Amino acid sequence: MEGMALSRTDMLHVADTVAREKGIDREQVLEAMEQAIQKAGRSKYGHEHDIRAEIDRKTGDIQLARFVEVVDEVENEITQVTLDVAQRRKSDAVVGEFLVDPLPPIDFGRIAAQTAKQVIVQKVREAERERQYDEYKDRAGEIVNGIVKRVEFGNVSVDLGRAEAVMRRDEVIPREHFKRGDRVRAYIYDVRREQRGPQIFVSRTHPQFMAKLFAQEVPEIYDGIIEIKSVARDPGSRAKIGVHSNDTSIDPVGACVGMRGSRVQAVVAELQGEKIDIIPWSTDPATFVVNALAPAEVTKVVLDEESGKIEVVVPDDQLSLAIGRRGQNVRLASMLTGWDIDILTEEEESERRQSEFTARSERFMEALDVDDVIARLLVTEGFTAVEEVAFVPVEELSTIEGFDEEVAEELRLRARNFLDEENARLAARRRELGVEDQLAELEGLSPTMLVSLGEAEIKTLEDFADLAGDELTNREDGILRNTDMTLDTANDMIMAARIKAGWFSEEEIAAIEAERAQAEDETGDPAVEAELVAADERPGGDAGLPA
């Protein structure tokens, strides 16, 4: 490009060559050349001028011209003229038109040629980045093969052939070291535009990398006969994968293991010896959790669906196996199943049951003023609270061995008297805390709950209406976490408080519900539903409701 001594056909030839080598559109290269010539032209004739260049797409001829805009009122004397001045040069000129003054071809000097070259290189690079982004933006979720280009501070740049990807240090399997020229297989987990061009992020630690490797090794997964339901990894060490067969005649675990372990070994080899447990997936959470804790044996499972927790009881000699080294086995099982798993030995569970039994017995002894024999009988029969004794039918109580109708009636009476005294005490405490009557009248709030709210500085209907459901029910720090209130009930009560406080009318609530139902029907998009719920929970939020 020295002296820009390119012939007209050379110009087109260079554009064709660059476009072919970089895999971008010839038109984009020619536009970059035009911008370079424009820049050189402005350097010669003055940067304040509106100088434009055009390359004829067939002949390669370069047209350089100065453009002057016809306007009503001149703001820039160099690039604009008024209509009457323009009509002296061109009688039919109109406002908004450009007067074009052809300029002689530029004899590019060394500096001008260098500047033009820089512009062309920059524009070609931008076009190449755009082509890379368009090519890879829909390939997130694929496995790609590449060659290590360079390694800087543990971050690996991978040449994919027509693009370059980045594998950050935490996306490389521990104890895995790459050097320039190594072949590498990785999973594209993100493609996004950044200032310096598109960035393709790849990983070898991502759970889906393992899933995709299995899909390559196991034809039944590729064909959709076997599904990978969930994956949990401790990269480079251990992993668990939950599989399910849509064909009852095919064993999903056997298919993934392969003849003499050939299929799973191919994946293990790629993952630097990562041990893989293949777990049969189940619709029943308890069964899936038991499977996921393999190789440990489980004797009992107790689910708490509301909190997402599950208690697992194992024989004493199986505890260390169930937990795994540094908690690895139970951690991976928890990630795989989505349940918070709490492991107890049979001895610990027996002790807990015994302490709960004792605590309930003592509660009945204190509340009903009975001896430990009667209290233990009540607990043994499944009674857990004084309220249950107070309102259970006499016939049910009198069927307990050693109880007759008279004893049953006396127990019910004592239970009700205790509850009345307790409620009176709680009501006094509630008033002492300053909890307003208007909040106390909200349906569903017990005296105990009202005291808990008061102690948490929730004292008015407005305070309660301003809460979110999980602020009440969260198992870690929810205000009412020690009650049996569910998240759905909490949300319903908060909405009732908002209506009672005059934030929304019943008609507006009905409109929100209708809008949510319609969004679910039309899109099935949980994000849309989440936004509507968020609008519900904002006073006068995006749903356009009055604050």
- pLDDT at residue number 547: 32
- Residue 56 makes CB contacts below 8 A (sequence gap 6+) with 8, 62, 63
Is 173 within 8 Å of 156 (Cβ atoms)?
no
- Of 451, 443, 452, 458, whose CA–CA distance to 426 is shortest? 451
List of residues 6+ apart from 463 with CB closer than 8 A: 439, 457
- Please compute the mean of the pLDDT values over residues 206-210 and round it to a whole number: 90
CA dist 92 and 83 (Å) reads 10
- Cα separation, 135 vs 111, whole angstroms: 36
Reduced to 3 states (helix: H, G, I; strand: E, B; else coil), residue 319 is helix
544 pLDDT band (50/70/90 cuts)? very low
- For tokens 């605590």, the residue is 359
pLDDT at 404: 72
Contacts of 450 (CB under 8 A, 6+ apart): 426, 430, 435, 439, 440
Res. 7: pLDDT tops 80 = no
Q: Model-level pTM?
A: 0.56
Which of 99, 95, 119 minimizes the C-alpha distance to 42?
A: 119
Q: What is the pLDDT of residues 256-276, one digit of tens each?
A: 898 888 899 988 988 888 898
294-330: per-residue pLDDT in tens?
888 888 888 877 667 888 888 888 888 888 888 888 9
Task: Name the one residue in this structure whose structure tokens are 């908004």.
Answer: 96
Tell me, what amino acid is at 15?
Answer: A
CA distance linking residue 250 with residue 270, whole number of Å: 26
Q: Are strands 309-314 and 340-345 parallel, antiparallel or unpaired?
A: parallel
Q: 96 in helix, strand or coil?
A: coil
Instruction: Tell me which residue has tokens 């076997």.
Output: 226
Query: Going by C-beta distance under 8 Å and a sequence separation of 6 or more, which residues neighbour residue 340?
Result: 307, 308, 309, 310, 334
Beta carbons of 267 and 256 less than 8 angstroms apart: no
Q: Taking 50 as the threshold, does the pLDDT of residue 531 lie above it?
A: no
Both tokens assigned to 273: 């010896």
Question: Does 111 have pLDDT greater than 60?
Answer: no
CA 326 to chain centre: 27
Domains within the chain, CATH numbers bracketed: 2-133 (3.30.1480.10), 137-203 (2.40.50.140), 438-536 (no CATH)
Tokens representing 304 are 């708490």
